[in-house]
A and B are shown apart, each in its own frame.
Chain A
Amino acid sequence: MTPELESAVREICAAHDRDPLRLMDILRAVQQRCGSISSPIIARIAAELRIPRVRVESTATFYAFFTAQPTGRIVIRVCNDVIDELQGGQRVLAAFEQELGIRVGETTPDGLITLTETACIGMCDQAPAALVNDVVVTRLSTDRAREIVQALRANPDPKALVTRLGDGNNGHALVGAMVENNLRYAEPAYVFSPLARGVALSKAVAMSPAEIIRAVKVSRLRGRGGAGFPTGMKWEFARAAPGDRKFIVCNADEGEPGTFKDRVILTECPDRVFAGMTIAGYAIGAAEGVLYLRAEYAYLRAFLEDVLARRRAEGLLGQSVAGKAGFNFDIRIQMGAGAYICGEETALLNSCEGLRGDPRNRPPFPAQRGYLGCPTVVNNVETLCKVVKIIQDGPAAFAEHGSAGSSGTKLLSISGDCKRPGVYEVAFGVTLRHVLELCGAEDAAAVQVGGPSGQLVPRSQYDRKICYDDLATGGSVMVFGPQRDLVHVVRRYLDFFAEESCGYCTPCRVGTRLLIERLAHIQAGRGSPDDLAYLEELGQTIKLTSRCGLGQTAANPVLTSLKNFPEVWAGRVRARSNGHQPGFDLSTAVGAAELIVGRRSAHAHAAS
């Protein structure tokens, strides 16, 4: 390690008070400044923080945005999700490779540009998309990919790639992104409705915490992050939990492929999100809030920090918030570093503490022991927005909308084969058919509702309702037209889960890879009917024995498509009459041996 590098690392550690709890920020800063987190750097950080080096390495090797190998000054991360692929993502990636003269995973010889793939970056409504360092580039084409490389070679400043600005606050000086909101439809408009600043918060601090919790309970608000836990009850637990120090954490990890509504909320109504956090803090007796922002949304950070600063200046954060003596509350932003699992609330808390993003054992639940062991409420971005509206207009007005078991509205992120992808706000209980009409996807052959962890719904079930009791969703709705190969779609979702598994527990770490092995087999035309029963049983094992929501839902693409699209699967397998063992491919099995002896086996290619 050069002396300059060493002093840079020292400096970064000192700037973060040599605090192991801030290891994520330290590693982010080091990665940015030094281009990698190499072994000597790990040793240096460990020495500065006075913690075991393997503990630093443990965190550093967990997150996709940290690398042990040096990267170029610019890293291009092309989204490889299935939605991007449908819009030509693979061709875009190939164009990048060609123009750069390197393969995915490599760096140009001059050390300028590294090319990699990444999971959904939350831009599915303007796919194919990529990140160039923190700069988002959308609606890519092969031509555009070539232009981007040429532009970067001429001027290695990714910011210069933004030649046109998106709508709304994407054009704000502190955002300056080409991202579009694609806000299509809001009926009734709850989140994207005009709201006077500070009104709800003033109203809240005039109430007692117990009254606020009661209002949230009366509204029957349930979490919008996917699991749908009643928000009022969660707050009540945290309020009742013993402890002087409590936390509100806003989950802005938004990693579920096909979800991007939180991105639009953070762009257009960050004040509402922060007001929701503040009200929640008042309700449970917390003085500190953390917004966990996924690394992919780093382009929004300066803008959000500015909103926080403004709120502090206006007395909406800090001491005696909104004039309420004794109510002190402030919010900080914690950045992630590329890990879908960190959307899981306990993994998120570990990440906030500078640890690997492994989920924790439950109980204890975060409301009992969360961040730093203190009672913590973790809520989704949209949930917190809803709270503001509930306090402002009263719970009855909120509960008026929606269905019996699911009150209020839901933001949907719609992408894929439809005419109008984007963000839609609808009342719970709406039929999928209606949603498909809204977005212009009447010919959809299949719809994945709830992201890869949700379910693949066939045409015959489009009259099902979007709500917690039927088609539950954190917001992701991905549409597939009749021309799409659903087995391929399932395979890509499985690839995603296997890639994003934290690896803590056996079924998820191993089982997802076993599912992929057998899917690949079927895709190669070698599947037999037994393989479908095998997939079903393996999938059930993963579902029933996994430790967290990722593993518990990872087999859903396989399981729900086997159930809802039996004909698709049946068409991809065939019974064997020759007595060959299903799942065994002789040609592949002897492939390596053939290479060694330098000739082909007579038996291997005779019958299969």
Chain B
Amino acid sequence: MSQKIELTIDGREISAVPGQTILSAAEEAGVYIPRLCHLKGLTPHGSCRICTVLVNGRPQSACTQPVAPGMLVENDTPKVNGLRRNLLDMLFVEGNHFCMFCEKSGNCELQALAYRFGITAPKYPYMFPQRTLDASHPDILIERNRCILCGRCVRASQELDGKHAFDFIGRGAHKRLHVNAEARLADTDAAVEDRAVAACPVGSLLRKRVGYALPVGRRAYDHQPIGSEISAAAPQG
């Protein structure tokens, strides 16, 4: 058996195995570290920075940082949560998010995190970017107004579907999600059952004709804040 590594998160001692990330070790111990670009089963991306924690006082992304003995991790503290709130704000104003009209409402991880952090309106000014929508595919819709560039679809397509239907193009502010064709998703080998489609945390990559099928009140985050299932699984005692 591999050796155990002991570390502390918000004053609680937890143990982990070598090679584990802070995020997954915390999760196993019933400590929820908020995340957006990370999805279990995919290579960590480290792009949204929502999982930022302070490790011995220094900021690190918990989804990419391996555990080390004796780490003192700050996760659920006013300072760290303040940073996360600002990052969530940035993601909202960078795109065009109209939650009330979005079929992902209630199932959207960005929205659920905003609720968890008590954000009712972003404090930063909206950027109102011009983004395109791709409805060419018979079964899948890309609504780039809501894309947060988390790369979950990109990785899921490559790592789980064995395809390369998506990738990013452009740099900096011009970075965009693109498809493996001149312009249209319809011209790629993407299929509705691809794990990439289900991987999208927001309402950017959607299956057609199933929107609003689930009524409000029965959606993923209608009753409990996102992450509750992780904290609920905390070992007792």
Partner of A363, one of B66, B125, B148, B169: B66
Is A57's CB within 8 Å of the partner chain B?
yes
Residue of B whose beta carbon sits closest to that of A543: B59
Is A373's CB within 8 Å of the partner chain B?
no
Q: Chain A interface: which of B8-16, B101-109, B171-179, B191-199?
A: B171-179
Interchain nearest-CB distance for A494 vs B (Å): 13
Is A129's CB within 8 Å of the partner chain B?
no
Judging by beta carbons under 8 Å apart, are B169 and A57 in contact?
Answer: yes
Partner of B172, one of A54, A502, A583: A502
Q: Chain B interface: which of A150-158, A459-467, A504-512, A564-572?
A: A504-512
Compute how far the CA of A27 lies from the CA of B52 in the bound complex, rounded to whole angstroms: 36
Q: Chain B interface: which of A174-182, A300-308, A407-415, A544-552?
A: A544-552
Which residues on the B side are within 8 Å of A517 (C-beta)? 125
| Interface residues as binary, A334-376 with B (CB distance below 8 Å gives 1, 0 otherwise) | 0000010000000000000000110001010000000000000
Is A500's CB within 8 Å of the partner chain B?
yes
Which residues on the A side are within 8 Å of B149 (C-beta)? 503, 509
Is B231's CB within 8 Å of the partner chain A?
no
Which residues on the B side are within 8 Å of A63 (C-beta)? 171
Which residues on the B side are within 8 Å of A39 (C-beta)? 182
Judging by beta carbons under 8 Å apart, are B90 and A54 in contact?
Answer: no
Judging by beta carbons under 8 Å apart, are B91 and A361 in contact?
Answer: no
Judging by beta carbons under 8 Å apart, are A61 and B46 in contact?
Answer: no
Partner of B178, one of A57, A504, A507: A57
Interchain nearest-CB distance for B120 vs A (Å): 17
Interchain nearest-CB distance for B222 vs A (Å): 26
Compute how far the CA of A357 lies from the CA of B171 in the bound complex, rounded to whole angstroms: 9
Judging by beta carbons under 8 Å apart, are A61 and B169 in contact?
Answer: yes
Judging by beta carbons under 8 Å apart, are A58 and B169 in contact?
Answer: yes
Judging by beta carbons under 8 Å apart, are A546 and B49 in contact?
Answer: yes
Compute how far the CA of A505 lies from the CA of B37 in the bound complex, rounded to whole angstroms: 10
How many residues of B are counted as interface, with CB atoms below 8 angstroms from the partner's CB atoms?
A: 40
Which residues on the B side are within 8 Å of A57 (C-beta)? 167, 169, 178
Compute how far the CA of A356 lies from the CA of B176 in the bound complex, rounded to whole angstroms: 13
Is A55's CB within 8 Å of the partner chain B?
yes
Compute how far the CA of A338 lies from the CA of B172 in the bound complex, rounded to whole angstroms: 14
Compute how far the CA of A514 lies from the CA of B86 in the bound complex, rounded to whole angstroms: 11
Judging by beta carbons under 8 Å apart, are A507 and B87 in contact?
Answer: yes
Compute how far the CA of A517 lies from the CA of B173 in the bound complex, rounded to whole angstroms: 14
Interchain nearest-CB distance for A292 vs B (Å): 18
Is A440's CB within 8 Å of the partner chain B?
no
Whether A505 contacts B172 in the complex (CB less than 8 A), given A55-B164, A545-B87, comes out as no
Judging by beta carbons under 8 Å apart, are B49 and A53 in contact?
Answer: no
Interchain nearest-CB distance for B74 vs A (Å): 12
Compute how far the CA of A513 lies from the CA of B179 in the bound complex, rounded to whole angstroms: 26
Interchain nearest-CB distance for B157 vs A (Å): 10
Compute how far the CA of A503 lies from the CA of B83 in the bound complex, rounded to whole angstroms: 19
Whether A545 contacts B83 in the complex (CB less than 8 A), given A503-B149, A506-B91, A507-B90, comes out as yes
Partner of A547, one of B47, B148, B168, B182: B47
Is A501's CB within 8 Å of the partner chain B?
yes
Which residues on the A side are within 8 Å of B46 (C-beta)? 361, 505, 547
Interchain nearest-CB distance for B53 vs A (Å): 11
| Interface residues as binary, A509-523 with B (CB distance below 8 Å gives 1, 0 otherwise) | 111011001000000
Partner of B86, one of A361, A501, A502, A541: A541
Compute how far the CA of A52 lies from the CA of B164 in the bound complex, rounded to whole angstroms: 7
Q: Which residues of chain A (533-562) have a CB below 8 Å from chain B?
A: 537-538, 541, 544-547
Compute how far the CA of A63 lies from the CA of B94 in the bound complex, rounded to whole angstroms: 22
Which residues on the B side are within 8 Å of A498 (C-beta)? 172-173
Judging by beta carbons under 8 Å apart, are A339 and B178 in contact?
Answer: no
Which residues on the A side are within 8 Å of B175 (C-beta)? 502-504, 509
Judging by beta carbons under 8 Å apart, are B93 and A54 in contact?
Answer: no
Judging by beta carbons under 8 Å apart, are A514 and B171 in contact?
Answer: no
Is A134's CB within 8 Å of the partner chain B?
no
| Interface residues as binary, B66-101 with A (CB distance below 8 Å gives 1, 0 otherwise) | 100000000000000001001100110110000000
Is A218's CB within 8 Å of the partner chain B?
no
Is A499's CB within 8 Å of the partner chain B?
yes
Residue of A whose beta carbon sits closest to that of B45: A361
Is A62's CB within 8 Å of the partner chain B?
yes
Interface of A is mostly: helix
Compute how far the CA of A106 lies from the CA of B212 in the bound complex, rounded to whole angstroms: 47
Whether A513 contacts B173 in the complex (CB less than 8 A), given A58-B168, A544-B59, A545-B59, comes out as yes
Which residues on the B side are within 8 Å of A233 (C-beta)? none
Is B204's CB within 8 Å of the partner chain A?
no
Interchain nearest-CB distance for B111 vs A (Å): 16
Is A29's CB within 8 Å of the partner chain B?
no
Compute how far the CA of A368 lies from the CA of B178 in the bound complex, rounded to whole angstroms: 32
Is B24's CB within 8 Å of the partner chain A?
no
Interchain nearest-CB distance for B203 vs A (Å): 18
Which residues on the B side are within 8 Å of A547 (C-beta)? 46-47, 49, 61
Is A43's CB within 8 Å of the partner chain B?
yes
Is B166's CB within 8 Å of the partner chain A?
yes
Judging by beta carbons under 8 Å apart, are A538 and B86 in contact?
Answer: yes
Residue of A whose beta carbon sits closest to that of B180: A54
Compute how far the CA of A363 lies from the CA of B55 in the bound complex, rounded to whole angstroms: 15
Interchain nearest-CB distance for B43 vs A (Å): 9
Compute how far the CA of A513 lies from the CA of B172 in the bound complex, rounded to whole angstroms: 10
Which residues on the A side are within 8 Å of B182 (C-beta)? 39, 43, 53
- Interface centre among A500, A503, A510, A514, by most B CB within 10 Å? A510
Residue of A whose beta carbon sits closest to that of B86: A541
Which residues on the A side are within 8 Å of B181 (C-beta)? 53-54
Judging by beta carbons under 8 Å apart, are B49 and A505 in contact?
Answer: yes
Compute how far the CA of A363 lies from the CA of B52 in the bound complex, rounded to whole angstroms: 16
Interchain nearest-CB distance for B104 vs A (Å): 19
Which residues on the B side are within 8 Å of A504 (C-beta)? 47, 175
Residue of B whose beta carbon sits closest to that of A508: B172
Compute how far the CA of A514 lies from the CA of B126 in the bound complex, rounded to whole angstroms: 10
Compute how far the CA of A499 lies from the CA of B170 in the bound complex, rounded to whole angstroms: 12
- Can you report 9 A-B residue pairs in the complex whose CB atoms are below 8 A from each other? A61-B174, A361-B64, A501-B173, A502-B175, A506-B47, A506-B50, A509-B173, A510-B90, A541-B86
Q: Which 10 A-B pairs have the closest CB atoms?
A: A503-B175, A510-B90, A52-B164, A54-B180, A501-B172, A503-B172, A54-B167, A541-B86, A61-B169, A545-B49
**Interface, chain B (partner A; CB < 8 A):** 44-50, 52, 59, 61, 64, 66, 83, 86-87, 90-91, 93-94, 124-125, 127, 148-149, 164, 166-175, 178-182
**Interface, chain A (partner B; CB < 8 A):** 39, 43, 52-55, 57-58, 61-63, 339, 356-357, 361, 363, 498-507, 509-511, 513-514, 517, 537-538, 541, 544-547, 583
What would 8 more interface pairs be, CB under 8 Å, given A58-B168, A505-B46?
A54-B169, A55-B167, A361-B44, A361-B45, A501-B173, A506-B90, A509-B149, A510-B91
